[in-house]
Structure formats: structure tokens, C-alpha cells
Chain A
Amino acid sequence: MSDSYFPVGPGLGMEENFLSLDDILMSQEKLPGRAESALPRLAVLLGQGAGSAESVPEGSKLEIPLWLAKGLHDSKRRIISVELPKIYKEAWRTVFSADANVVDLHKMGPYYYGFGSQLLNFENPENPEIAQTILQAMTLVCFLQTFIARFRRIMDSSQNAYNEDTSALVARLDELERALFQVGQKGLNDFQCWEKGQASQITASSLVQNYGKRKLAEVDG
């Protein structure tokens, strides 16, 4: 099934991929901001008032999704201004440079890398530092990946049980890393299946296996 299914992957740059589901989910994340001018008749939507005619006053604090912030942001006409979320700020960047391995990236936003790259769209004096930190996190996480792979391999060869639960390891990875982890696991598992001679055996598709026997009979009849 998964062989012939090619989903659109995340863009991971200044621009998202238009049809990537991951990127759409990522751009829903909220961003702290401030209204630089009054926004008439939007108070209901942005949770600032009750009446439909009320406007959002200038200078009020907002929590806006990334896609909206990106649409409204303009360096010339100041409609809104955007602040950095705290996980991309100086304090957290210091934590990252100390040791990125201990940070729970999934808790800090399941799309840490993608969201961070998108933040570079808003001209911010700290942009180069943010990009550097994200790259550094990626580098360290790649190391983490190799560590995981190595750890698993030692475990595999000693216990010969590679089909086991990896949820504890995966729980702390962000979505990008999870995809990467899955790819690494697949390579290793495919090789081990081949080595055991399971690759040459023809097995029923998982779809058919899930299908109950009774249902199958109905389809036949």
C-alpha cells in the first residue's frame, strides 16, 4: 500500500508546500502578536469582545495562527506585529546549545523545525541566530538518531527482537524527526527481514488480514 502512495512532504524552508498536509497542520499553530492598527468588526473572531460590530483596538495582544499572521504581515503597512514564541527565544536557544538531546521537541511544538523556518518570514533582528539554532538542533538530533540506531542495533543483535515498541524513544521527537526515524527503522527492518529469509515469503496483504473472513465471504457471494 505505502509503496504506491506518495504524499506531499513538508517544505521546510521559507515557503511551505501548498498541498502538504503536514505544512497545513504546522501553519495552524498560534503565534503571539500585537495589533498595530484597529481591526474593525473582528473582535468576535479574535476573542476580544462579544458584539459583531466591535473592533479590535490598536495595541491589543493577539494569538493568531501562523497562516493568518503571514498573510497580514507586511514590512510597510503595519497591521500586526509578531513576537517570537518563547521556545525560539534567547533563553531556550541557550538550552539548545548546551545539549539538544535532552529537549522534548514534541512537547515544544510538534513541528519545531518547520515552524521555526517559517518564522524567518517575519523580519526579525534575531533571524540568523534562530536559523543557526534550528540547524544545530538538527545536527544534534541526527547524532541522536545514530545513537538510537546504534542502541537499537546492539539490542537487536543481543535480544533478536526488533519488532518491539519504540514509543518511548519516539515520544520526544518532533514530526520531522519521526519521519526520519521511521525511514531509518525501515531500512534496518527490511535488511533483517531479508537476512532471515522472510522477504522471499509471500504473505497476505495487511489489508486482507484486517478484513474479517465473514466479510470476505459476503464479497465473494
Chain B
Amino acid sequence: MEPAEVEFLAEKELVTIVPNFSLDRIHLIGGDLGPFNPGLPVEVPVWLAINLKQRQKCRLVPPEWMDVGKLEEIRDQERKEDTFTPMPSPYYMELTKLLLNYASDNIPRADEIRTLVKDTWDTRMAKLRLSADSFVRQQEAHAKLDNLTLMEINTTGTFLTQALDHMYKLRANLQPGESSHSQDF
């Protein structure tokens, strides 16, 4: 899976916008949206919010967690704990990137938010490598990674599964094989 595909999934998340046009309730396959009234907040998926924003038809309300104070707290918590802490959104990285790229004028202190989220990401990735390392060294066969987000899993996932696949095959060599004599004449 590519990062763009993860982003595609992230665009289904709901955000609040304040439109400057009026439109009746629209019926889409994935659910009904609206009605849209000028000045009244309404929840829409991210893909629609960005599209409306680019057409200058709405103002974006940043999600509750996209706030310097809260993100600082999350970052400090993440540094303190050994395991992964729950993130404010399963797509925090994607939403930060999308919203800051297309609607940074609606988000207060956008640069600080970008830095904080990046810091959190770096902390978590370093932690992920550390735990993958100890996982491999102790030759474990399973692990529980509750609070990892899809983007984080996707970045190292292929590498990790392939490495573990190789290790599994090499370890299977340790047991004298039953299937190894299938071609014995």
C-alpha cells in the first residue's frame, strides 16, 4: 500500500466547515450531507472540505485536537511512555498534512502544529524501530501494537513482515524437516 492510498482512506474522516453558500441536503452513496447554510458549521468528509476550500466556498474549523497546548501534552506523554500512546485521531499525520497544506490560513499557529506533529511522529517511529529490534532479537512470534496508526504501520510494515518471513523460514530449518525428503527416489 502506498502513502497516497492511506491518505485516500484518511480523507473519509469528518471535519467541520463553515460554508458561505446555501445548498439543500445532498444524498451521497456513503451517507447524506448538509444542508449547507452560510455561516452555520456542518460536518463533511475531508475530501469535500478541501475541495470546497479550494473553490473558496467555505472556512475550515480545525479539529479539536489540532491545538498547540494539546499536541504538546501528547508529545510529552509519548516521550514518557514506553509503549505507544493513543493518538487523537487514527489519521493524525494525514489530517495534519492535508489541513495544513490546504487551509493553513484557518488554523492558528500552523507552523508550531506542524513541528509538534512531526516531533510526535519521529518519537513514535524511533520507538517502533526500537521495539521491532527487541522483537527480532528475542525471536518472538507475535506482538500487540494497539495504538499504531495505519500510516506508521504502512511505512515499516513491508520491511518488517518480510524480515520476519525470512526469519521464520530460517528457523524452520532448525527442526529436522519432514517435508524435505519428498523428492527422495
Which residues in A have some Cβ–Cβ distance to B below 8 Å? 12-15, 113, 117, 120-121, 127-128, 131-132, 134-135, 138-139, 142-143, 145-146, 149-150, 153, 157, 176, 179-180, 183-184, 186-188, 190-191, 193-195, 197, 199-200
Q: Beyond A135-B174, A150-B129, is A188–B155 a contact (Cβ under 8 Å)?
A: yes
**Distance between B175 CB and nearest chain A CB, rounded to angstroms:** 9
A13 touches B159 (CB 8 A): no
- Residues from chain A with a CB closer than 8 A to the CB of B122 are 157
Point out the residues of chain A lying under 8 angstroms from B151, CB to CB. Answer: 191
Give the secondary structure class of B's interface: helix
Q: Are B7 and A13 in contact (CB under 8 A)?
A: no
Give residues in B with beta carbon < 8 Å to A: 2-4, 7, 97, 101, 122, 125-126, 129, 132-133, 136-137, 139, 151, 154-159, 162-163, 166-167, 169-174, 176-177, 179-180, 182-183
Across-interface contacts of A145 in B (CB, < 8 A): 159, 163
23 A-B pairs, CB-CB below 8 angstroms? A12-B169, A13-B169, A13-B172, A13-B173, A14-B177, A15-B183, A128-B174, A131-B174, A142-B136, A142-B137, A143-B133, A145-B159, A153-B126, A180-B159, A180-B162, A180-B163, A180-B166, A184-B156, A187-B154, A190-B3, A195-B3, A195-B97, A197-B101
A12 in contact with B129 (CB, 8 Å): no
Task: Point out the residues of chain B lying under 8 angstroms from A188, CB to CB.
Answer: 155
A200 near B4 (CB under 8 angstroms)?
yes
Q: Which residues in B have their C-beta under 8 angstroms from that of A13? A: 169, 172-173, 177
